[in-house]
Amino acid sequence: MNKQIEYLKSRVGAGKLSRRDFIGKVGALGVAATAANVMLADAVKAAGPTKGGMLKLGVSGGESTNTLDPALVASEVPLNVLRHWGDTLVQVEADGSLTNRLAESVESTADAKTWRFGIRKGVEFHNGKTMTPDDVIKTIERHSNEDSKSGALGIVKGIESMRVDGDVVEITLETPNADLPYLMNDYHLVIQPNGGMDDPTAGIGTGAYTVEINEPGIRHGFKKFANDWDDSRGHAAETEILVINDATARTAALQSGQVQMINRVDPKVAKLLDRAPNLAIRNVSGRGHYVFIMRTETGEFVNNDLRMALKLAINRQEMVDKILRGYGGVGNDMPINAAYPLFDDTIPQREYDPEAAAEFYKKSGHDGSPIILRTADGAFPGAVDAAALFQQSAQAAGIPLEIKREPNDGYWSEVWNKQPFCASYWGGRPVQDQMYSTAYLSTADWNDTEFKRPDFDALLLAAKAELDLVKRKDLYSKMGNMLRDEGGLICPMFNDFVDAVATNVEGYEEDPNGELMNSFAGIRCWTT
């Protein structure tokens, strides 16, 4: 019997036998369907990816105002688009390790101040030009420009000088940073010809796919780039991203076969959806978290007692149970959880405590007028319900919250990072340093809680240069505590990334760095 199964496996691996026939035939040999599916997956994996075909993704998080400029990418659809056409120097993998992409080697001096990136040779841009170390330098320059609007500005601002040395780009930092390679993984830092100085929105890069259709807010279409330098990816001949912001429409599109993968499955329906025969829910716990953001320099939130009152007035476990339906874990008012290296698990978990909250509220001297909390369906899945739960638990502590529901479209440009108190989410970063540098450093563009504390910045800088891991962990612990007790972040939960993938898609692997395989699903999966 084993021989027969092996034979069938080889047939299906070679594409001579359909999935259904395979399961039917091994079923006839007395193998249960689930076991047959596992065998099939092995067989297909052993045979390697199927090249060609069309892969379609239904992705939430796109707006009609999106552009192809990597500097301005801030939501899920443009990020998926970016992954299709561009590459960064290095890349964080699912297991947290760093692989070289457009850089062939990464070395640093002992003080972590000067870094040398050996640039890969013979890599071709979509416009036929060969990538040079010069393009790399120009790219970083464009993002670090004084008037740059780049989301990576906070990351590259600390660069003192750059120079080309043969095939090597040498970067000297103002202050040492042991995590620099992780920072160069930032998705904004896609290498463009001449750094994108000529036309940042051209969509020309070194990625596996060329941009064929670009209709922001509607769809994006790609074709396989024939001269791609990396043949371990880019299996489908064509891929398409449909912007489907409505959760029900997205689910239906997957169920009816319009798309083969979707992101952000509503946890409410995830378990039901998983029962459908032609698709599977793929969830992975990561570093992403759902948050309520208080701007600490705006209006009533200047008062830390009020902030503390609100932090104590939220019921975290209830949120995990009711909003995430168990697809996640409780937060502790800092953006870091156990998924990060050097996490200090001795920091006490903050619990829901209406009495203490009421005390802090009284101490804050707030005038008792309703505190306006802005939310939208698109802030995170279940954000409107979460706001309602928050309102109720705060009510029990005598703190009046008024929920203001905002339209989804424009939420990220008009409400988030602008309004004093709103619901939001963070995708998480590979290392603590990057998370803090992106959103909690005084000068960071995305410092959405307006957390501007010189002492915190100093700790962050010290941790950057600290090569002793024990000391570094201690510094991160101090920073976490500081944010937890004095920051503007209310972090009730860390969410799992919940995607749904059709069974005829192979190559999907969970990646804690982000949804849809850290947005690489389009270029790493294939259809059978």
Partner 1 sequence: MHPVLTLVAQRLALGILLLFAASALIFVGTQILPGDVAQSILGQSATPESLANLRKELGLNEPALSRYFSWLGNALQGDLGTALTNGRDIAESLGKRFANTMFLAGSAAIISVPLAIFLGLLAVRYKDRWPDKLISAVTLTSISIPEFLIGYVLMYFISVKLGWFSSVAMINDGMSFFEKLNAIALPVMVLVMVVLAHMMRMTRAAILNVMQSAYIETAELKGLSGFQVIAKHAFPNAISPIVNVVMLNLAYLVVGVVVVEVVFVYPGMGQYLVDHVSKRDVPVVQACGLIFAAVYIGLNMLADIISILANPRLRHPK
Q: Note the residues at the interface with partner 1 (CB under 8 A).
A: 58, 63-65, 67, 213, 215-219, 242-246, 248-249, 252-253, 255-259, 406-407, 409-410, 413-414, 418
**In whole angstroms, how close is the CB of 84 to partner 1 at the nearest point?**
18
CB nearer partner 1, residue 111 or residue 414:
414
Distance CA 330, CA 321 (A): 10
* C-alpha closest to that of 136 among 101, 110, 111: 101
Distances (CA, A) of 118 to 100, 132, 158, 253, 364: 10, 11, 20, 44, 55
Distance CA 525, CA 503 (A): 12
Residues 6+ apart with CB under 8 A from 519: 76, 79, 80, 82, 83, 187
CB nearer partner 1, residue 96 or residue 217:
217
CB nearer partner 1, residue 262 or residue 475:
262
CA 192, 193, 197, 203 dihedral sign is negative
Distances (CA, A) of 323 to 382, 386, 448: 6, 6, 23
Regarding beta strands 371-375 and 401-405, do their DSSP bridges make them parallel or antiparallel, or are they unpaired? Answer: parallel
**In whole angstroms, how close is the CB of 417 to partner 1 at the nearest point?**
8
* C-alpha closest to that of 207 among 86, 100, 69: 86
Helices and strands in the chain, H and E counts: 18, 19
**In whole angstroms, how close is the CB of 253 to partner 1 at the nearest point?**
5
CB nearer partner 1, residue 177 or residue 251:
251
**In whole angstroms, how close is the CB of 65 to partner 1 at the nearest point?**
5
CB nearer partner 1, residue 246 or residue 351:
246
CB nearer partner 1, residue 365 or residue 407:
407
Residues 6+ apart with CB under 8 A from 523: 83, 84, 207, 208, 209, 233, 234, 239
CB nearer partner 1, residue 246 or residue 355:
246
Residues 6+ apart with CB under 8 A from 501: 260, 261, 279, 280, 282, 508, 521, 525
**In whole angstroms, how close is the CB of 516 to partner 1 at the nearest point?**
18
**In whole angstroms, how close is the CB of 216 to partner 1 at the nearest point?**
7
CB nearer partner 1, residue 224 or residue 405:
405
**In whole angstroms, how close is the CB of 255 to partner 1 at the nearest point?**
4
**In whole angstroms, how close is the CB of 195 to partner 1 at the nearest point?**
22
